[in-house]
Structure formats: C-alpha cells, structure tokens
Amino acid sequence: MTADKDHQTQANEGSILIVDDNPSNLRVLSQMLSGRGYSVRPVTDGYLVQAGVRASPPDLILLDISMPDMDGFEVCRRLKADEESRDIPIIFISAMSEIEDKIKAFTAGGVDYITKPFQLDEVIARIETHISLRNLQKQLEAANHELTDYRNYLEEIVKERTKELEKANQKLQQEINDRKLIEAKMLSSQRLVDLGTLAAGITHDMKSPLQVIVGISESLKKQIENGSPDKEYIAEKLDIINRNGWRIEAVMRSLLSYVRYSGSENEPHDLNSLIKETLLLIEHQLNIWANVEVITELEEYIPVLRCDRTKISQALINLLMNARDAMPSGGKITIRTIFQKAENRVLLQVEDTGVGIPQEIQSKIFDSFFTTKPVGQGTGLGLTNVMETIQLYQGKIELSSVVNHGTTFSLYFPVKPAASKSSEK
C-alpha cells in the first residue's frame, strides 16, 4: 500500500522527454530520473520528437546536440516554431563545452545547458527549477485565461446593462417629451383662459368710457340741433371724450402687445413700461380683488431688457395671481424694480403679505403640475412658466417666504449688450 502511494507521488513529479541517439546515455538518464519520481520517455531520433510531443506534450525536454540525422539545434528550432510545443522548456545536455555551442543552443530556444559528464544532483536541480517555472507559467496562463473569460463575461453584462439603460433612457426621454407636450398644451390652454379673462375685464373697463363718449356725443349733438352750442361746454365735453378715447386706445394697445408674439427674444423693452402695461391689462381684476392693494416702487432709470415682452408680462401676471391667491383676506402686493449696477442686472420683485409658503414645499413650487390649490383651481404650471422664462434669459429666481408674513419672488435679469448687425446676420 505504501509502495503504491510512493509510486503515485513519484509519478506526480512531472514528465520528461529524453532525446539522445546513444542508448547507454538514454538508459542512465532514464533510470536516474525515474528513481526521482519523473515519468520518462526516451527518443533516439530527432525526426520522431515532434510527433511524440504532439501526441503527449511533456513538461520538459532533455535534448542531446550531436545526433546523426538531425542535430539538437534543429530539433529545438522546429519545436519552438510549432505553437503547440514552443512553450515547453528545453535543456541541452551535451559533451560540447565550447562557448559558441552554448550560445547557439540558447539562440535556438534552449532554457539551459548541461555539460557532460554531469552530476545527477545538478541535473535534478535544473530540471526541478525549470519544471517549477513551467508550472508557474501554466498557472499564470490559466489565470490569464480565467481573467479573459471573466472580462468577456463582464463585457457581456455591460452590453446587456447598456442596452437596458438605453431602452430605459429612450422610455424616459419619451415620457419627458410627452410631459413637455402636455405642459405646452396646458400652458396654451391656460393662456387662452387668461386671455379670455383679460378680454372680459377689458370689455368691462371699456364699457364705462364708451358710455361716457356716447352720452356726451349725444348731448353735443342735441345742442347743435337746437342751434345753441356753447363753445366752452363743447370744449369741455370734447376734452372728456378725448381722454376716454385715449384710455380705450391704451387698453387696446396693451392687449394687442400681450397677444401678439414679438418674434424676437432680443428686442429692447423698458421693464417699467412692461409692468405698467401689464397692470393696465389686469386693472379690472385688480379692482375686484377684495382688500388687495397693489403698490409699485419702480426705479426711474434702469437699462432696457432684451426680451420677449409677452413672456415677461405673462410671468408677472402669474406672480401677481399667486400673490392674490395667497391673501384670501386681503393685503398688499408690492412690485419693485432695481438696477444693480455692480452685478449689471435688473431686479424685479413681487412681494405680498400673504400666508407664506411652508419651508418643506418651497423646493417643489417650481415643479411642473405642483400646486397647493384645490382641484380645478390651478394647473401647477404658473411658477414653472416663471422659472422657464427667467432661465431663458440666463437669469435666476430667488424665493423668500415666512409663513403668515408673506412671500417675495426676486427675478434677476442680466443686462445684455445689443447684438451687432454682423452677429445678427
């Protein structure tokens, strides 16, 4: 039992192919190496080496140089030229001791050179060293192979995940596009609703001056028909007609400016004038807001803004409507403009004395469709529109709010130089 185990251990030392045309040398080497536990195969002809190696690759080859039909150098060169045998370590063992022969052996691909007569311990030590190196090389190759397989596996996983992410991204992009489309439609619908509300208010505002004009004109007509016109009376009444006519013209001009697309984001506009025209547009609504006072604090000299007047007007209306809704019991709304020269920007503030915005929802108020109003009383797009407008002009918006004390929205518009004609082209 012990002998079998020892034999099995010996067989595990490695396999060696011995190539020598001298049977006596083959016998001596074979016996020595077999006694040390190596599996030995002797070959006497250099032409048979390649076939033997292909049939059963050894762990190491001991190769004689002087052989009649094919010398060891040529055998080595052929083995190294074959992909299946090029990595097998070859130790030359020869009586040729000239330095030229050794160089020739290493040039052909040998890993070591043993000169005859040799010492057994030296041969064993060199064999063990090169077989150990060969085993380490095999382990490294196996590890590299495993790494390559694992890398390929990871690459496949990455490809699959990439495809999944691309699909998810496409789906997300479609959802974003759908959401933007819904927002655009809702903003368009809200704009039509706002326009209808403005038109109704303007119709009401125009009714009074028209009644005055009609009434006074009929009175003047009767005086003329009776043949007793009073010049001072006529002049006074014509002045009233003139003022009311200009009043109607101003209201209509503001409405036309609001509904007409300017066609350019780079047209110069006076922000104070835009604010006054916007207040004129919603004058009727301001008049019916119970206990709400609108105050303007407009800096007299501020630079013009290059913008789309309609978008700025709509943003201001949205802020005013929000301020009104925040003051169900009434209060004050202050509209303020300031030119901040150091920062080269214009500040537009809308401040109210309403209920304020709780801290926990302040980060959400600019999100699309977010609203604190009851269902049916708000689209949740008003402040989104304000944010998009200020971002369009590379500005920024700040919110300051204290519950039960009020809210201030600050819009900062950078002052931009006029575009040159060459850049416009």
Burial of 24 (0-12, 13-18, 19+ CB in 10 A): exposed
Flag whether pLDDT at 375 surpasses 50: no
The partner residues of 61 in beta bridges, in order of sequence, read 17, 90
Structural domains of the chain, ranges and CATH numbers in brackets: 2-118 (3.40.50.2300), 264-419 (3.30.565.10)
pLDDT digits (tens, 9 = 90+) for 32-62: 898 888 999 999 888 888 888 988 999 999 9
For the chain, give the percent of residues with pLDDT over 90: 25
Flag whether pLDDT at 266 surpasses 80: no
CA distances in angstroms from 12 to 5, 36, 59, 90, 133, listed in the order given: 11, 11, 11, 20, 16
**Per-residue pLDDT band at 317 (split at 50, 70, 90):** confident
Query: Looking at this protein, which amino acid is placed at residue 138?
Result: K
Rounded to whole angstroms, how far apart are CA atoms 388 and 184?
A: 12
The mean of the pLDDT values for the chain is 80
329-346 average pLDDT score: 93
Q: What DSSP character marks residue 102?
A: H
The partner residues of 40 in beta bridges, in order of sequence, read 16
Rounded to whole angstroms, how far apart are CA atoms 171 and 177?
A: 10
Cis peptide before 358 (omega within 30 of 0): no
pLDDT digits (tens, 9 = 90+) for 1-18: 444 444 444 445 789 999
In 3D, which of 48, 50, 68, 60 has the Cα closest to residue 91?
A: 60
Structure-token match 């509300």, residue found: 197
